[in-house]
Amino acid sequence: MSMQPSRRSFTKKPTRRSFTKKPTTKKSPAVDMTPEKAQDLLRTFDENEDKNYHSENAKLLADNFGTPEQQKKMNEILDRHQFGYDISYPSVDEDYNWRIKNINPLYQKLVEASKPKQSKPKARSK
């Protein structure tokens, strides 16, 4: 008995549908951010800064305000940082520069989210 695969498994062509990217319906965590939760995060951020936990703060920002790609990359950076960089890793500066460019702007979102929402005054009718 031969163990060769049948021809049928090689002749089937993938459909166009199998290559299309599915739309993402996952909401960003920042959508559900309340001013109270943002204030708690800001307090945690400040406490971490006092302890020089900069990588942990970058992860906090990515997890709460970043895209899924930023979250994934920040997890990779934090893993490398916590377990020590491999001597073959090209440059610690690459991680640092990526964080400065992609994560630091998220701090402004945290500050804005921590401010209480002001209700708009109603227009007077004449």
Task: Return d(Cα 117, Cα 74) in angstroms, integer.
Answer: 29
Task: Return d(Cα 101, Cα 77) in angstroms, integer.
Answer: 14
Q: At what angle do helices 54-65 and 35-50 cross, to 10 degrees?
A: 160
Two structure tokens written together for 61: 């920002």
pTM of the model: 0.66
Per-residue pLDDT tens digits for 61-104: 999 999 999 999 999 988 887 777 665 566 778 888 999 999 99
Per-residue pLDDT tens digits for 16-48: 444 444 444 444 556 678 999 999 999 999 999
| Domains of the chain, residue spans | 31-114
At 95, which helix (H) or strand (E)? helix 92-102
Task: Return d(Cα 45, Cα 40) in angstroms, integer.
Answer: 9
